[in-house]
A and B are shown apart, each in its own frame.
Chain A
Amino acid sequence: MKFSIILWGLVQALRVAVRVYPKFAARVKERDLIAQFKLQDNSVGRWIQFQAGRIKSGSGLHENPDITLFFQNEAIAVEFLSPPFDQLTRIDAAKNFKVGMQGPDELVVWFGATLTYLQTVGWKSGTDMGDGVTRYTSGTNGGPLFVYVKDGKIIRMTPIEFDDDDAPSWSIEARGKTFTPPRKTSIAAHGLALKSMVYSEDRILTPMKRVDFDPDGERNIQNRGKSEFEPISWDEALDIVVKEIKRSKAKGRGTIFANTGSHHQWGNFGHYLSAFGRLTNLLGCTKMMGSPDSWEGWFWGAMHHWGNSMRLGTPEFYGTVEDCLKEAEMIVFWSSDPDKAYGYEGTVRRAWAKELGIKMVHIDPHLNHTAALLGGKWMAPKPGTDPALAQALCHVWITEDTYDKAFVENRTQGFDEWKDYILGVADNTPKSPEWQESETGIPARDVRALAREWARKKTYLGAGGWGCGLGGAGRGPTGAQWARMMSILGAMQGYGRPGVNFGNLQFGAPVDFSFYFPGYAEGGMSGELQQSANAANNYQRMPHIVTMSTVRQAIPRKFIPEAILEGRALAYLTDVSTVQGQFMKVGYPAPGHGKIEMMYKYGSSSLGTQMNGNRYVEMYQSENLPFVVNQSIWWEGETKFADIILPACTVFEHWDIGEWYNVGAGYVHHMYSMNNHRVISLQHKCIEPLGESKSDHDIFLEIAKRLDMGALYSEGGNTELDWCKRAFDSSDMSKHISWKQFLKKGYYVVPPVSEGARAPTANRWFYEGRKKDTPEPYPLPADYVQNFGDGLQTPSGKFEFVASTLNNIDDSGRPPLNKYMPTYETSRDEGLAEFNLQLLTPHTRYPFHIMGDERGCTIRDIKDHRVRVDGHEYLVAAINGSDAAERGIESDDLIRLWNHRGSVVCAAYVTDRLQPGVVSAPTGSAEYRPAGEPGNSTDLGGCVNMLNPSENMTEQTHSIKPNTTLIQMEKWTGVDTWRRARAAS
């Protein structure tokens, strides 16, 4: 077809759409403009004019067009404009200057979006349920949902119940029984409570400015966190933000700090790695340098024994659900509480294990939720002493000769040295059950009984929240020692043997690992190739224009206040591509780069999630930080510390797409094996954004347009819905369900593979001395010391009892031989004698980080989470009965927890689920409510992390070390006298 005919056809299509679709007619009425289409040499052209909603057109060149779209030659033009549109062709044309757009950026974006709207205006979404109710779908951190909407209002959200058209479920036959998962999705509390969060009293519904902030005059930085806010218009807010961007950039390279939390709403495009990543690359920001949050011990510790760097040092998990149910006789849950904020997909599988009579042991200072549900033996070591207990198990196995000798001999190295250490050859201290008793408080006889049972029975070690890493003891000060011990226990019992492996049935469901749908860590629309997993698949599958930041400095997550206050913060890199990646020290400032002038904070509240949070208040009130914009959905603890607030909307108020628990390559690869079914959901725009709020994507577009980057940001006018379609087209889903069907139904269940095609059992190949056969592309080929696929990622290719990669560094907390070192803060330290209780700050059960803890959320009505006293909801801290009695405390009393770093008021829950001397309060609070001066008084909101130290777990890491922190507690008097010692770290 010829270019001139295509253009004529385009005009006809526009006219038809205006006639047929009132929404399209309204769109055309929004702007008056003349758009010129032409070949670059002006040989062919046609102009289209929109005037008061009418469409005029003429062939040839208009003398005064508002915008011009030109093509290098006719062949390119025809290919670009002929349906079906090929994305690769279009991207190739755009990035190689085969097409071009001229004119005001805002108009170009508007016109581009209008042309794509021509294709999408007729699309119908959702299922009509009668009575004026439409059922949409969404995706959340807690699981996918059906969303029922009537009259523009959400009336309910439910888990998705599959119908007969959906793919069948897998079954596992084990010991004469057949197990099949329920035909529905499960949902975590923070997902099920989302309707209340959409309509929460804490929603921010207009842009805001701090009343005493004048960007052209007195900024009153010292009043951040104290002063009130006033509503302003979007234009005012965005003009200030853009002016500050320009002011900052004029001061030097990398002067804008892009700062995100680790939580986010679900969706491949709304995720901070996606739209925010694209904007901040285009702006050239100093980014926040993440750390392996909650994987600390595995990443900095266990990785050195067996590699698995791209799994952050955690073990493989493929096939473990089937193997565990068929073969295992016991599961040891060690610091392992899967039945909380991660969702409940694995819960039914653990019920099957219980039904099969598989024994359960729970090692945790807290009788956790999973232990309470499943029952079994409970052992409660003093917080931080778990590695001593693990070493005593090794002692029993060595002295009683009950370890897997063939595995140790053929698959490992360094055992003799390890054995000598355990037997106390050099230090005259055998690491015996009696030796550990004084550390852990666990009777020696129980350790002997456990060791013998473990050796006798085929045992799964569920280490950490997911059974193969995450949280628990791994994020404490002895976290590296503990995770290293977990790997060593596995090696001594020959992990990979049938019935002997890592897991607690939370991971390793027999789903299809070959069906492609992009995970969120693939970066969505960011165009970022280095700091995301984009390059692995997404970049090829969904052709898009690469973006690249020109800034070479980053601020380490754990030391943001230090970067601002002291002008310097370095930390070790979370480079997962190889074991040695973590030895690089980088950060802020980088040579030739500028000092931070502005912070763009994207959601979350560091005051609630980060250690020693009072540091943040000091940072915000410092003249070193001239401007802060906070983009947030809700008023959270940190929001008030901004100068300008931009109101974002929830996931239900804009388009997005995503697969439940699909992270993508490079962080937790194949994480969706946590689910019984792979479920991909279109995240319908169920309702209009509340108030004046906008989607994150659209806020970024507004900023980009003010910098003439709108066309670049949106690739010529793509909307969120257009991006969703591009992701759909990029995935294997498009081979199985039409876009039209998917748009209506809203979800797709990926069929399971046949039984014979299931992924092989994790680590079996290594146990049997075969080439690696599990479906993960790690380690990278260069990291094999023998032939490709033979052995582990370690320098020896074997499991290393003495970790040779740790020979390369001098970190006293991580010697190559994993000797036991008591936790840093103990009652042995006289300076801390006043503080004789240990504080556990585990992951929350009901909220996700702080999400779900916002005021107005129904989760706040759960008495196990918060208790209402005099109209205020106080975070619940669990305390032991004897500690309570000593201090005259009863359940629901307000209590103050404090040390030299912070002071927080909680509501007491007196329980026997903790041992004397241990207090447990969940990490993460959405609220910060200082009783007096912010940063220098007691918090009534529940930010218990304020009590935790901000130092690294061991010197040469980038990590946290909560969970053994020493504190004191008393009944709250209502009078606050606590003041912060500024030197506290």
Chain B
Amino acid sequence: MDGRRYLATRAGGVMSEKWNLIVDVARCDNCRNCFLATKDEHIGNDFPGYAASQPEKEHSWVDIRHKERGQYPIVEANFMPVMCNHCDDAPCMKVAKDGAITKREDGIVIIDPEKSKGQQAIVDACPYGAVYWNEEKQIPQAWIFDAHLLDNGWTKPRVQQSCPTDAFRSLKIEDAAMQKIKEQEDLEVLLPERATKPRVYYKNLHLMTKCFVSGSVVADIDGIEECVDGATVQVRKDGNDMGQATTDVFGEFKIDKLEPQSGSYELQVRSSAGGDLSMQFTIDDESLYLGVMKLSAG
């Protein structure tokens, strides 16, 4: 169906259910299927009223951002798909002229491939870097939530269909229901301070945005260095409890969700096997592996 026709037929109707997308960062393993499926859908295909074809190179309408946290041996490699957030208060719409961008009643934001011609300001307006400039066609382009497929009876966008780890969940529900899920599942949005009201929500976003502290607790037992299992590790800041963990069989612990640039903390290790230890550490931009922490008493 032509996108313009869709809008015309729905103009008078009542539609309170809107599309939302939940992305679980913990489930993304950078397989790139969402990225490739979107390229498959849009390179070489024009969908009038929805999107002109995507250039063969450079555009990442669904982009995967990386974050490595920690140092050997405690390292994480985390990934987060970022695409058009289909904001309810979309910065791009504020700079668009001639009605180039439309907010559909189902929440989806569409940049009209004809009317948006020459409007590079739309690219610059997006705080998420999710709008791409098509040099050849001189138009701004972004991920359209597969609106053209949903209008033809598809029940979910291709990013979700092709994902092997169920990192995506698309929901067409009322906003109040979505808010409930957001609270229940502890979802976040990108750049909440920009108040753009995104329709794309993230689960486990701390894997991209927060820091952890980690270490390996060891002790000499009968003269041999051993990993200390079951030691209690506690992190405090200004006397407040910021998290605790128990070491595993390798003596390793990880305490997560510390704010970047949050300064100094106190860490205390207690173990029935090998005595106590305390130290200070400072969180700058990166997560920390504090190294081998040897308990003094044996």
Contact = CB atoms under 8 A, between A and B. Distances in A.
B57 A449 contact: no
A861 B60 contact: yes
Interface in A176-215: 182, 184, 186-187, 189, 192-193, 195-196, 199
Main secondary structure of the interface of B (DSSP, over half): mixed
A348 interface: yes
A189 B36 contact: yes
B227 A446 contact: yes
A446 B227 CA distance: 7
B280 interface: no
B39 interface: yes
Contacts of A98: none
Given A187-B33, A367-B77, A453-B249, A858 B164 contact: no
A949 to B, nearest CB: 28
A187 B165 contact: no
B30 A369 contact: yes
Given A196-B40, A372-B77, A913-B75, A187 B56 contact: no
Interface in B41-68: 41, 43-45, 56-58, 60, 68
Contacts of B292: 443
Contacts of A443: 225, 292
A158 B158 contact: yes
B131 to A, nearest CB: 18
Contact of B226 (A153, A370, A448, A858): A448
A775 to B, nearest CB: 28
A378 interface: yes
B75 A367 contact: yes
Interface string A571-606: 000000000000000000000000000000000000
Nearest to B63: A863
Given A159-B162, A378-B75, A373 B70 contact: no
A348 B164 contact: yes
A914 to B, nearest CB: 9
A856 B56 contact: yes
A448 B29 CA distance: 31
Interface of B: 27, 29-33, 35-37, 39-41, 43-45, 56-58, 60, 68, 70-78, 152, 158, 161-162, 164-166, 218, 224-227, 229, 248-252, 292
Contacts of A351: 27, 165-166
B33 A192 contact: yes
Contacts of A347: 29, 164-165
Nearest to A846: B32
Contact of B68 (A157, A184, A448, A913): A913
B33 A189 contact: yes
23 contacts: A155-B45, A189-B33, A189-B36, A192-B33, A192-B162, A196-B40, A344-B31, A344-B165, A369-B30, A369-B31, A372-B76, A380-B73, A445-B218, A445-B225, A445-B251, A446-B250, A449-B251, A856-B56, A859-B32, A862-B32, A911-B77, A912-B70, A913-B68
A450 B37 CA distance: 41
A156 B30 contact: no
Given A377-B248, A444-B225, A913-B68, A192 B29 contact: no
Interface of A: 131, 153, 155-159, 161, 182, 184, 186-187, 189, 192-193, 195-196, 199, 339, 344, 347-348, 351, 367, 369-370, 372-373, 375, 377-380, 443-446, 448-450, 452-453, 846, 856, 858-859, 861-862, 864, 868, 911-913, 915
B214 to A, nearest CB: 12
Nearest to B252: A377
Given A445-B227, A861-B57, A379 B251 contact: no
A159 B33 CA distance: 11
A912 B40 contact: no
Q: Which of B29, B39, B72, B164 has the most CB of A within 10 A?
A: B164
A39 B270 CA distance: 98
Contact of B72 (A157, A380, A445): A380
Contact of B39 (A153, A196, A367): A196
Nearest to A371: B77
A373 B29 contact: yes
B91 to A, nearest CB: 26
Which are the 8 A-B pairs with shortest beta-carbon distances? A344-B164, A373-B29, A372-B77, A449-B227, A858-B39, A192-B36, A186-B164, A453-B249
Given A156-B40, A344-B165, A448-B227, 10 more contacts: A158-B161, A347-B165, A367-B75, A367-B77, A372-B76, A380-B72, A445-B224, A864-B32, A868-B58, A912-B75
A444 B221 CA distance: 13
